[in-house]
Structure 1
């Protein structure tokens, strides 16, 4: 078993922080980075339009010679003015390059960063999630923090958390939410299946089973396992459609439950209880209750598995940054009380729930961590 407390390179706490400079003494590069933050919301929209209106794709197709601003405008079907303001914003973000500063008409060329923003699947999943799911509600982040509720969710509806309303969100918002969720979870599933099925569990409880994506992988991986999905009725209905379409209705069932009602026990008799990208959706006090209810659902000798991403366990500062930013979605839109956790926070919850971590595996998929727990 690995040491459960680790510090990722570049993560806060890895090195002693230098003394903060005053504004007047700050190096120019620091002041530039501060301006990137100040204008970030505006530049984000410009970057999305450069991508979605086809300006970046037009420059990619014209590489390496590039295109004039007028030619880009014609290919994108927008005015020359619109192309110029977007391309010049792209210069500021280093998404595009200009052949000569003295000729603002161009040609413009796609910069390496622009190619990443255009083509990288992680960046696309993150950017669409931020624009479609998070952006409008993030204006109410302050109210969410002060009132410990997802005030930004009012941009979509009057639900207490996003989970009750997930099946009722506008189609484009749902699409971006699920693409974001699936992008990260799908990367880890192939690596965790052999670890979960090493013990040959016959009955598995998938807590917060969502659309049934992991359950379907389980029944395809092991022909003898039976899976029960535990989730809200709206999510189970969507999962049932997916399960039926895949032809596994006889091996995957659903059990509707309000997961936040600690008085409602989980169904019992399971060899394995699975919680994937799930506990980050709850505050710590609820995590302890959920883990206890999950432990009570286990047969003797069974295991409870927690798969999640922790910002202190990431390989790069960029990965930690993404998780720290995702915490703001949980604050403003999801529930107002949860976040992407430091691994030590979850380990403390595991201990408080009367469980012990028997196996701790990092680096699964996109830097996921798997805790295999047993009842103490």
Structure 2
């Protein structure tokens, strides 16, 4: 693991105490900034072109009372989202990020709509290694059984979060996937079928094998049908937590994207053992995931590290965003060997290429 330090090298005790208060009041700041964005306050300030507005001018629009404006904008002020100049609130650079940056908005929606209520039970979830916060959304053992049935707006926010990270990567990695000219390609954790659609469109001769839970495969099959590529696809309903369930055999390439982070280390070990057994003699396994230890920028590592509590409280109870060496160690134990690693794919992905050991 690379050494990592997010705080300044020379931080005074006073500055450290201020940072600690930001943590203590973090949920308050989150909700007020989100309100200012969703209810149009930040847009109203942005529309002034940098001159800003007074509380009285904002209240005169009839959209908010002076009380609401003062409560919300004062918190935004404390967070550096806006600043005060001659009695006028002016949107600051952080406010512009909230207002215009897609990944910031997706992260805000995901944490509010999917995670916020459930994270209240994070302590219990950590103690028991069960997703006890998931009851805020529905009655399923893990989030994955209920993915297609999530209530709104959680469903929209979950898929926006998942797809925004992966969609930026798919166009870039298809040459990697087909570098060895695979004819039989298995997509484990096919989800809505986005990767399979892209792979079938990219290569007109490849045969796709999609593996996931039955309800997810129903969604994937419909999407492949709409894309006109379903005739080269085969669907394999598998509960990968069942270690006795083998995977379809003789695969030239096995693909996993943002998938293994949904499982505990023992479950990952089992999945990798079965994947190794499913490879053809010269077959390869490609794992694309978001490893916090392989990020060029601290902002990416910060976001990834703080996604792990979602897995604890909402998704599975015992999975997380892993370091790359965790996967490599577990793959080697499953009889695989690492061939290559490629970083800086999309926003924050890396691609690990494995083959059977000794080949």
* Common fold: TM-score over 0.5: yes
Partner of residue 27, structure 1: 13
3-state SS in 1 of match to 2:4: coil
In 2, the alpha carbon distance for the partners of 1:75 and 1:301 equals 68
- Could you report, residue by residue, the CA deviation over 1:177-222 in whole angstroms, capped at 9, with x for unpaired residues? 0111111111111221111111111111100000001111101111
Listed as ranges, the matches of 1:62-73 within 5 Å are 62-73=48-59
In 2, the alpha carbon distance for the partners of 1:229 and 1:87 equals 49
In 2, the alpha carbon distance for the partners of 1:47 and 1:189 equals 32
Question: Which of the residues 94, 97, 113 maps onto 1:132?
Answer: 113
TM-score, reference length from structure 1: 0.91
- Could you report, residue by residue, the CA deviation over 1:108-127 in whole angstroms, capped at 9, with x for unpaired residues? 11101100111111111111
Q: Retained in 2: the 8 A contact 1:63–1:110?
A: no
Q: Retained in 2: the 8 A contact 1:63–1:109?
A: no
**What number of residue pairs does the alignment pair up?**
357
Partner of residue 303, structure 2: 322
In 2, the alpha carbon distance for the partners of 1:168 and 1:221 equals 31
- Could you report, residue by residue, the CA deviation over 1:76-101 in whole angstroms, capped at 9, with x for unpaired residues? 7222211121111110011111113x
Partner of residue 247, structure 2: 266
Q: Retained in 1: the 8 A contact 2:119–2:310?
A: yes
Partner of residue 103, structure 1: none
Structure 1's 226 and 57: CA in aligned 2 closer, same or farther, altered over 3 A? same
Partner of residue 47, structure 2: 61
Partner of residue 151, structure 1: 132
In 2, the alpha carbon distance for the partners of 1:223 and 1:70 equals 63
Stretches of structure 1 that go unaligned for 5 or more consecutive residues are 1-5, 101-105
3-state SS in 1 of match to 2:153: helix
In 1, the alpha carbon distance for the partners of 2:49 and 2:9 equals 43
TM-score, reference length from structure 2: 0.95
Q: Retained in 2: the 8 A contact 1:53–1:76?
A: no
Matched, 1:37 2:23: yes
Partner of residue 326, structure 2: 345
Partner of residue 176, structure 2: 195
Partner of residue 3, structure 1: none
Runs of 4+ deviating beyond 6 Å: none
1:57: Cα distance to partner?
A: 0.9
Q: Retained in 1: the 8 A contact 2:290–2:350?
A: yes
Q: Retained in 1: the 8 A contact 2:201–2:229?
A: no
In 2, the alpha carbon distance for the partners of 1:140 and 1:134 equals 10
3-state SS in 1 of match to 2:49: coil
Q: Retained in 2: the 8 A contact 1:58–1:75?
A: no
Q: CA RMSD in A?
A: 1.9
In 2, the alpha carbon distance for the partners of 1:351 and 1:194 equals 25
- Could you report, residue by residue, the CA deviation over 1:257-313 in whole angstroms, capped at 9, with x for unpaired residues? 111101000111221100000011111111111011111111110111100011111
Higher relative contact order (CA closer than 8 Å, sequence separation 6+): 1
Question: Which of the residues 232, 236, 247 maps onto 1:251?
Answer: 232
In 2, the alpha carbon distance for the partners of 1:196 and 1:63 equals 47
1:328: Cα distance to partner?
A: 0.5
- Could you report, residue by residue, the CA deviation over 1:151-182 in whole angstroms, capped at 9, with x for unpaired residues? 11111222111000111110310110011111
Structure 1's 99 and 219: CA in aligned 2 closer, same or farther, altered over 3 A? same
Listed as ranges, the matches of 1:114-263 within 5 Å are 114-263=95-244
1:71: Cα distance to partner?
A: 2.9
Structure 1's 375 and 118: CA in aligned 2 closer, same or farther, altered over 3 A? same
